[in-house]
Structure formats: structure tokens, C-alpha cells
Amino acid sequence: DSIYFMVRRLRYLQQPIDYFLEHPNNKELRRHKLSTTEWLVLRDCKVMLMVPHIALQSMSSERLPVLCGTIIIFKQFIAKWKSLQNSQPRL
């Protein structure tokens, strides 16, 4: 779940990060700048990580999760993964 939030935040800050790395005072850091392809991979990672994130949020929102609720959430998780596989074949 924390990786999902980190990737989401990184994608949100893409423009300021690129601007910061392009600044003349930061030329020694410029080698760490992500390419367009790397940003696209991060976008795809965010999409993929969203499915388990939603399942985790559903399970942690209950005060006392019970097995029957967990099974339903797990079935929904599998269905969303399959749907994602069909709608986004490159992932």
C-alpha cells in the first residue's frame, strides 16, 4: 500500500521534479532524471498497484474483518485484476 502512495506522489510531482533537475544549479543531479519511458512505466505501476490498494483499503476499513467479507473482497480483487488484464494488455 505504501508503494502505491509513493508512486502516486511521484507521478503527481513529475513536473516540479523535472523542473528542479533541469535547473543549472542541479546539473550534478540531472543524471537521475527519469526518461519519458520511465515515467510511463511508473504510470502503469500506479494503475496496477491501485487494484491491491483498493482491496487493502476495503479490508482495513472494517473494525473486525470476518472471513466471509475477506473472501468477497478477494474475489473482487481477482475480478478487477482480470478486468485490468483485458482492458490494459500491455500491463
- pLDDT by 10s per residue, the chain, length 91: 799 999 999 999 999 999 999 999 998 999 999 999 999 999 999 988 988 888 888 777 666 666 677 788 888 888 988 888 888 877 6
Residue ranges making up the domain that contains 53: 2-87
Please report the pLDDT score of residue 65 as a whole number: 63
Please report the pLDDT score of residue 63 as a whole number: 63
- 45 close to 7: Cβ distance less than 8 angstroms: yes
Contact residues for 34 (Cβ-Cβ < 8 A; gap 6+): 17, 18, 42
Please report the pLDDT score of residue 16 as a whole number: 96
Number of separate domains in the chain:
1
Please report the pLDDT score of residue 4 as a whole number: 93
Query: Cα–Cα distance between 80 and 13 in angstroms, integer?
Result: 27
